[in-house]
A and B are shown apart, each in its own frame.
Chain A
Amino acid sequence: MKLTVWTYEGPPHVGAMRVATAMKGLHYVLHAPQGDTYADLLFTMIERRDHRPPVTYTTFQARDLGADTAMLFKTACQDAYDRFRPQAMIVGASCTAELIQDDPGGMAEAMELPVPVIALDLPSYQRKENFGADETFFQITRALARPVDRTEWVSCNLIGPTALGFRHRDDVTELTGLLSDMGIDVNVVAPLDATPADIARLGAAHFNVLMYPETGESACRWMERELGLPFTKTVPIGVGATRDFVTEVAELAGLAPRLDTKRLRQPWYTASVDSTYLTGKRVFIFGDGTHVVTAARIARDEMGFEVVGIGCYNREQARAVRRLASDFGLTALITDDYLDVEAAIADLAPELILGTQMERHIGKRLGIPCAVISAPVHVQDFPARYSPQMGLEGANVIFDTWVHPLVMGLEEHLLHMFRDDFEFHDDAGASHHGSPAVPRGNAAPASAPTTVAVDAVADPGTVIWLAEAETELRKVPFFVRGKARRNTEAFAHDRGQHEISVETLYEAKAHYAR
């Protein structure tokens, strides 16, 4: 047993639901107790879908336990087929049904329904949501995809987008346009909006674009082996990655690389002088493996940040993230325990966090700005507006999203210049947040330096701030003050000093200057 409050990923049958809900003409019969239908609201509320997920739950109750549950499953299966008339069905068990061992696959097969019925075996006590999605899509592909004639024109499949995917909807649009510019058709997008009939003609493409390794890699590997379809290894998030992707695609397609950059604004924006202040901003990156790997490259090579921490929660991508981290001279944090992540962030005290919904809340607690780069996300990250992560418009979107939470250059400069101004002092609050302006002097009665604030001499490990140094520290702008305090304390500690004077503060500043 493991005590858990927050989970980055749901159970694997939620991953299967993400595939089923993404597709059309497919129905999922899930052997599950009453209550597991809660997962429907992830799709109807967070993603704001206007239809129910195509999932029938057996919703067995205590009184059904025993031989009855098998019958319940068969009835649910038959009713679902009769009502929805899908082209194919998937059947499986949730965590509780896994324990009662009714074998949904075997029972469904015995019913001899007139459509393909694909059995899913998702080990709920070992694996998680992303595995569930990947495995489900792999099983569907394996059951339905057949060798077919290649399309006359060069075409590819877009593999991996699902329901509840972070920006999957717009990434598909962006890539479709990008490929179209190169003269490449999209044969099938799957699982998003694909029907079982579409899955059957996956083999007509010349190659696959693996958009999200988390949800599509197993199917791509199978198609490579069984249908002879090579697949792309570069995920086109970021300008550099998009250029590499175009080169890779051009090779697979036997066409000249072509990238229309007239709408690309990100490189100029990062080059413009106002972005100089982004240089060396210390950033911590956490999320799913794919988005973390791509974000790290953008952060360092395209934004000029210093990446101080990297990690992911899905252990399927641990190897890739570890490799990347060692390239950056870091040790990757592979964990699904948000308390570990919080501890790492608190320890590193970055100036920006790129993470998930969870890191956003950690950032809020620690007073560190955060931008969301990966699932799990909440309803506000399924926006109405067009906001891909992939391709060139994706690069524009990412620039805006990451920079927005930071204090921008000119603003930072002005705040620094006027930090002792009667309207801009610390207690005044941000004028655009609706808090009333508090003139200096009315707020804290006295920041006047008194004597030395010493009463913690007991612990030789602690370092004490002399009052003058404390006052001097307060002149450092609030958004870097935490780092200044930490650096100075570490500096003093390393030198065995127990008191920090104004001089220590400035020595430390000089020491850490870059």
Chain B
Amino acid sequence: MTGRALGCAEMPVLRQRGQREVFCGLTSIIWLHRKMQDAFFLVVGSRTCAHLLQSAAGVMIFAEPRFGTAVLEETDLAGMADAQEEIDREVERLLSRRRDIRRLFLVGSCPSEVIKLDLSKAAERLSRKYAPQVRVLNFSGSGIETTFTEGEDACLAAMVPDLAEIDDRQLLMVGALPDVVQDQALSLLDQLGIGPVTVLPSMRADDPVGVGPKTVFAMTQPFLGETCAALERRGARHIPAPFPFGEIGTTAWLRAIADEFDVSDAVFERVTEAPRARARSAVARASEVLRDRSVFFFPDSQLEIPLARFLTTECGMRAVEIGAPYIHRQLVEPDLEMIDEGPVLSEGQDVDLQLDRARAVRADLTVCGLGLANPLEAEGLTTKWAIELVFTPVHFYEQAGDLAGLFARPLRRRDMLRVAAE
């Protein structure tokens, strides 16, 4: 990265407080439970929490998902004494029905945090009771503490103290990725001769994942600030890198790890040459419609900065505002350095003021949540709904073209439709 300008890294950040149109961390459960195949996520919360999960999970709710909500009732609020007993009873019922569960997460919500229900105590007690068959952990996915993808951060950070202590040098890859993407990443690292490599979160409880002073770790997702800190507390060392979006992002990410493991340039070139060429041409094809167009990001997942980096450096777009719910400097600095100066960088939100800005600049493409997308389309703005970027495989080389395609499709569609909506 030497010789580069600092890009956006030293730009002032616009911070506003007001209404935030974002998901809470509970939403992370939707993809985390797919990734961790023997885990169950039990939210302790209200009917609202259950309704949120149902709305966010769409039709997935019907496929015997491994999550549910213990809905607080009037009696639970009256006296605190029996709340712990109630949890024990619900967990008992749950585990007797689902004997395949090896990891149980008690997930805190706004109501359980506000009444100060001690879920960590419950987790400790239940862990003792169900050991060694089931490990019970706890984290908070409440809206008052977490925004959308931060739920994954809280979950992974809760697992870190629980990881085995290991002394060997290893690479730990951190962040839940779709299986197909994770396999590609592990294959590339393997071809580069880097190993051993383990992944957090692991697919199953028995998969060996450990951490120790000789562990180095690379992040595949930008929203894992707490997990990063927790790993550092265990003595592991973070490898800073841009996030693996697009050809340039993936190459830079691999390069940073390759340097750490002293991989020769020749090997690096040999392994990455073909997939790089594939990714480059796929992005070039998919991003034709994106070139010289402007993009505006509403805050949602913390993926905004790395994605803005991808769209500006690889797809020829111009960013006008990059909004993120939080900016973890340590993690996104390399991406920020690669974005040309110019866009407004905003952290947090006052949604009405931000909507005023979006309407004033009328970017060619506005990336936002589902609560804003149709209303903005009705105002004539073209939108890309952000949540899809979290669920769809978008990382690393083979998905680079698809990633550009996700942003290109709404623009192509707008060009195709001959009958305008009124």
- Is B168 an interface residue when CB atoms closer than 8 A count as contact? no
- How far apart sit A35 and B110, CA to CA, in the bound complex (Å)? 9
- Is A128 an interface residue when CB atoms closer than 8 A count as contact? yes
Interface residues of B in 43-83 (CB under 8 A from A): 44, 46-48, 50-52, 54-56, 59, 61-62, 65, 67-74, 76-77, 83
* A3 in contact with B114 (CB, 8 Å): no
**Chain B residue nearest in CB terms to A61:** B144
* B378 in contact with A36 (CB, 8 Å): no
- Is A100 an interface residue when CB atoms closer than 8 A count as contact? yes
Given A3-B90, A4-B71, A125-B72, A52 and B111 touching (CB < 8 A)?
no
- How far apart sit A125 and B111, CA to CA, in the bound complex (Å)? 11
* Interface residues as binary, A140-162 with B (CB distance below 8 Å gives 1, 0 otherwise): 00000000000000000000000
Q: Chain B interface mostly helix, strand, loop or mixed? A: helix
* Neighbouring A residues of B46 by C-beta, 8 Å: 11, 95-96, 124-125
* Neighbouring A residues of B90 by C-beta, 8 Å: 1-3
Shortest Cβ gap from A365 to chain B (Å): 8
* Interface residues as binary, B254-294 with A (CB distance below 8 Å gives 1, 0 otherwise): 00000000000000000000000000000000000000000
- How far apart sit A36 and B110, CA to CA, in the bound complex (Å)? 10
- Is A5 an interface residue when CB atoms closer than 8 A count as contact? yes
* A10 in contact with B373 (CB, 8 Å): no
- How far apart sit A16 and B181, CA to CA, in the bound complex (Å)? 43
- Is B93 an interface residue when CB atoms closer than 8 A count as contact? yes
* A94 in contact with B54 (CB, 8 Å): no
- Which of B110, B114, B371 is A44 in contact with, Cβ under 8 Å? B371
Shortest Cβ gap from A314 to chain B (Å): 14
Interface residues of A in 412-444 (CB under 8 A from B): none
- How far apart sit A52 and B76, CA to CA, in the bound complex (Å)? 35
* B47 in contact with A44 (CB, 8 Å): no
* Interface residues as binary, B359-390 with A (CB distance below 8 Å gives 1, 0 otherwise): 00000000001111111011000000000000
- Is B183 an interface residue when CB atoms closer than 8 A count as contact? no
* B48 in contact with A125 (CB, 8 Å): no
- How far apart sit A99 and B72, CA to CA, in the bound complex (Å)? 12
Shortest Cβ gap from A294 to chain B (Å): 26
Shortest Cβ gap from A336 to chain B (Å): 10
- Is B94 an interface residue when CB atoms closer than 8 A count as contact? yes
Shortest Cβ gap from B108 to chain A (Å): 11
* A95 in contact with B47 (CB, 8 Å): yes
- Is A7 an interface residue when CB atoms closer than 8 A count as contact? yes
Shortest Cβ gap from A321 to chain B (Å): 22
* A11 in contact with B48 (CB, 8 Å): yes
* B54 in contact with A36 (CB, 8 Å): no
- How far apart sit A484 and B337, CA to CA, in the bound complex (Å)? 70
Interface residues of A in 17-69 (CB under 8 A from B): 33-42, 44-45, 48-52, 56-62, 64-65
Q: Which of B19-27, B154-162, B206-214, B392-400 forms contacts with chain A?
A: B19-27
- Which of B70, B71, B83, B114 is A99 in contact with, Cβ under 8 Å? B114
- How far apart sit A38 and B59, CA to CA, in the bound complex (Å)? 16
* Interface residues of A, count at CB 8 A: 54
- Which of A41, A64, A99 is B55 in contact with, Cβ under 8 Å? A41
* A10 in contact with B44 (CB, 8 Å): no
- How far apart sit A153 and B371, CA to CA, in the bound complex (Å)? 43
* Interface residues as binary, A83-111 with B (CB distance below 8 Å gives 1, 0 otherwise): 10000000000111001100000000000
* B55 in contact with A79 (CB, 8 Å): no
Shortest Cβ gap from B305 to chain A (Å): 20
- Is A6 an interface residue when CB atoms closer than 8 A count as contact? yes
- Is B226 an interface residue when CB atoms closer than 8 A count as contact? no
* Neighbouring B residues of A13 by C-beta, 8 Å: 48
* B23 in contact with A38 (CB, 8 Å): yes
- Which of B42, B44, B48 is A124 in contact with, Cβ under 8 Å? B48
* A33 in contact with B77 (CB, 8 Å): no
* Neighbouring A residues of B21 by C-beta, 8 Å: 37, 40
Q: Which of B18, B70, B83 has the most CB of A within 10 A?
A: B18
* Neighbouring B residues of A14 by C-beta, 8 Å: 48, 51
- Is B179 an interface residue when CB atoms closer than 8 A count as contact? no
* A45 in contact with B370 (CB, 8 Å): yes
Given A38-B56, A65-B114, A7 and B370 touching (CB < 8 A)?
no
- Which of A3, A34, A42, A61 is B69 in contact with, Cβ under 8 Å? A3
- How far apart sit A13 and B18, CA to CA, in the bound complex (Å)? 20
- How far apart sit A50 and B72, CA to CA, in the bound complex (Å)? 34
- How far apart sit A91 and B369, CA to CA, in the bound complex (Å)? 25
- How far apart sit A9 and B50, CA to CA, in the bound complex (Å)? 10
Given A34-B144, A40-B371, A126-B74, A6 and B87 touching (CB < 8 A)?
no
* A41 in contact with B369 (CB, 8 Å): yes
* A6 in contact with B74 (CB, 8 Å): no
- How far apart sit A7 and B46, CA to CA, in the bound complex (Å)? 11
- Is B113 an interface residue when CB atoms closer than 8 A count as contact? yes
- How far apart sit A505 and B331, CA to CA, in the bound complex (Å)? 70
- How far apart sit A56 and B360, CA to CA, in the bound complex (Å)? 21
Interface residues of B in 127-165 (CB under 8 A from A): 142-145, 147
- How far apart sit A13 and B51, CA to CA, in the bound complex (Å)? 12
- Which of A7, A41, A60, A79 is B47 in contact with, Cβ under 8 Å? A7
* Neighbouring A residues of B62 by C-beta, 8 Å: 6, 358, 361, 365
Shortest Cβ gap from B362 to chain A (Å): 17
Shortest Cβ gap from B120 to chain A (Å): 16
Q: Which of B73, B374, B377 has the most CB of A within 10 A?
A: B374
- Is B86 an interface residue when CB atoms closer than 8 A count as contact? yes
- Is A252 an interface residue when CB atoms closer than 8 A count as contact? no
* A125 in contact with B74 (CB, 8 Å): yes
* Neighbouring B residues of A44 by C-beta, 8 Å: 370-375
- Which of B48, B70, B93, B370 is A41 in contact with, Cβ under 8 Å? B370
- Which of B68, B83, B93, B111 is A5 in contact with, Cβ under 8 Å? B68
* Neighbouring B residues of A100 by C-beta, 8 Å: 114
Given A59-B20, A62-B144, A83-B352, A4 and B374 touching (CB < 8 A)?
no
Q: List 5 A-B contacts (CB under 8 A).
A: A5-B68, A33-B24, A37-B20, A50-B421, A99-B114
Q: A1-B72, A3-B68, A99-B114 are in contact. List 13 more A-B contacts (CB 8 A).
A: A3-B93, A11-B51, A33-B143, A34-B20, A35-B24, A36-B48, A56-B19, A65-B144, A96-B144, A99-B115, A125-B46, A125-B76, A378-B59
The 7 closest A-B pairs by CB, nearest first: A35-B143, A35-B24, A40-B371, A50-B378, A96-B110, A41-B370, A95-B46
Q: Which residues of B are interface residues toward A (Cβ below 8 A)?
A: 18-27, 42, 44, 46-48, 50-52, 54-56, 59, 61-62, 65, 67-74, 76-77, 83, 86-87, 89-90, 93-94, 110-111, 113-115, 142-145, 147, 352, 369-375, 377-378, 421
